[in-house]
Structure 1
């Protein structure tokens, strides 16, 4: 199977695909400490990274993301490693490629690309040209390491999304994208699900799939998925929600979502129209295994309502989202750290 077209080919033959869970959460369980760059572990502890990938596949993931969320020059500058962006990206994908190729079933290696952490002009100093350069460097490294597709995630800016799309075209790589809608149905930069999908539909270099990740919790992400799928999708929809809400316990951040809750979320996401379903912050291999079992065993149901989502997954974090169709829940805003991902 041609790796450049692998994800598109699999999507045409499957009703749903299971993505992976949280990179940061699982690396913390392996010993990563706060303030440490996860991407440096690709060189320091390659066996741990391979083990993380393997656990996701053993739990049933069809797609897993590389340990390269912050492997761009802008983010690595915080650790004095900006000159290693391409190298660390390549290492993350090479480890993933080696793991994936051991499995007889089709596995998609998705090269994770996170935001630069900078503000795009005119509000900030990051120009479109420099953003393209930064993303292109990372994309080339992931391509060299053997990634099948690039996976842009946790984005909040349309301008940065467009710069990444241009960079991926330069690298001649297919891509998927997700944004984080965590402030009453908007991203941190004020982007709505509707405006994001409108932008994606007009891009010269459209993604293979597009959707939402992270945010506040599974309920909020499901509300965004309903907004996406109500518009008539230009591309397949991705749902990659957090495993509940972050809670500080015994000196550590843990997430409230049980494997049972995430299994319910996975089925609701499928029934809402999402084609690629996974987890974000707090999602462990145990969660993924229950999600896989639920997707395989439970029959497809009707498109869920907001009331059903609230009853199954819990209250929404805001009284309404961008579309104003919900009146549930208190206002609860929690912006997650990259290292909790």
Structure 2
């Protein structure tokens, strides 16, 4: 299988990823608490439409509807015996959309956290985590995914387990963490720590970075933290479309297409090579991001003051790299992407 993502990274200045999964599926009728992965077989036309949204908006890659596709996640919906099937079909649907596109588009097999806490803090062993990630990754590979895409991870132990599983599968991979606790992940990982972690893995990811978290401003600050490490490895920025607000019984993200266009350009200037959106990011946001990246010249890395002035205030004073005893608080929950 050809490594399409490496080819595009080598030949394009910047790549546009996709937007939210959950936000767009909820708009199609997904109910709260329902497993999106079940729609791969129950509502395939809607999943095809989800993928097509990204391609039509100009994305160079999109993630499959398999974020919660491990046995640990699917067990909550009595579907843990369907891991291979649901992941395979999610990738097959993506393959169908990508193969008919008029340009090269990467199908990235989405792999989210297990939702369990790993040893020594929790009970999930490294070997069992590897087994679960391997099962999911094999299904994505069978369905035709070009690359495996780990996202919204908080613990380094889980990141390592997924990397081991992906190595067994033989597909190239990318991996992001969610920096949502004063510049750190919920398990205390800093941007510099992740940059160092990825270089210790064999094989390392093709690209790494941050997704979800709090607002786009915080994510840009994290990207600057990655860039400061100077590893040269491509960086991923996949920020939320603004800040979530509860409006008339629903979660609404206040980021406009214009704001996300500014975010995309700033992410590129901060050093990101793959830029997309996470929660709240709809096709209209992606179209504005595509237009901005194509029409506006590359500039200098923005200052923190400029990021705050144009994108919005940071959620915390700390970027996570200093001594902050409260930054590493441990929480059991994991948010579902999008």
**1:64 match: secondary structure:** strand
> Residues of 1 paired with 2:67 and 2:192: CA distance?
25
Among residues 307, 310, 323, which one is paired with 2:308 in the alignment?
310
Structure 2 counterpart of 1:111: 109
Among residues 17, 20, 23, which one is paired with 1:22 in the alignment?
20
Any conservation in 2 of the 1:282–1:340 contact (CA below 8 Å)? no
**2:217 match: secondary structure:** helix
Alignment of 1:51-200 (within 5 A): 51-200=49-198
Structure 2 counterpart of 1:201: 199
Structure 1 counterpart of 2:35: 37
Structure 2 counterpart of 1:285: 283
- Alpha carbons of 1:323 and 1:317: their partners in 2 closer, same or farther (altered >3 Å)? same
Q: Please, what TM-score do these two structures have when normalized by structure 2? A: 0.96
> Which deviates more from structure 2 when the two are superposed, residues 4-13 or residues 92-101?
4-13
- Alpha carbons of 1:75 and 1:318: their partners in 2 closer, same or farther (altered >3 Å)? same
Structure 2 counterpart of 1:8: 6
> Residues of 2 paired with 1:271 and 1:102: CA distance?
32
> Residues of 1 paired with 2:278 and 2:100: CA distance?
25
The CA deviation at 1:338 is 3.7
> Residues of 2 paired with 1:50 and 1:306: CA distance?
39
Residue ranges of structure 2 left out of the alignment (5+ in a row) = 324-331
Structure 2 counterpart of 1:252: 250
Any conservation in 2 of the 1:262–1:291 contact (CA below 8 Å)? yes
> Residues of 1 paired with 2:178 and 2:224: CA distance?
15
Among residues 218, 235, 238, which one is paired with 1:237 in the alignment?
235
> Residues of 2 paired with 1:157 and 1:199: CA distance?
11
RMSD (CA atoms): 1.4
> Residues of 2 paired with 1:282 and 1:184: CA distance?
21
- Alpha carbons of 1:336 and 1:104: their partners in 2 closer, same or farther (altered >3 Å)? farther
The CA deviation at 1:4 is 3.5
> Residues of 1 paired with 2:334 and 2:249: CA distance?
16
> Residues of 2 paired with 1:6 and 1:62: CA distance?
11
Runs of 4+ in 1 over 3 A off after TM superposition: 335-340
The CA deviation at 1:170 is 0.5
> Residues of 1 paired with 2:135 and 2:10: CA distance?
30
> Residues of 2 paired with 1:299 and 1:194: CA distance?
28
Residue ranges of structure 1 left out of the alignment (5+ in a row) = 326-334
The CA deviation at 1:234 is 4.5
The CA deviation at 1:104 is 2.0
> Residues of 2 paired with 1:150 and 1:194: CA distance?
23
Q: Please, what TM-score do these two structures have when normalized by structure 1? A: 0.95
The CA deviation at 1:306 is 0.3
> Residues of 2 paired with 1:340 and 1:32: CA distance?
14
**1:21 match: secondary structure:** coil
> Residues of 2 paired with 1:27 and 1:154: CA distance?
18
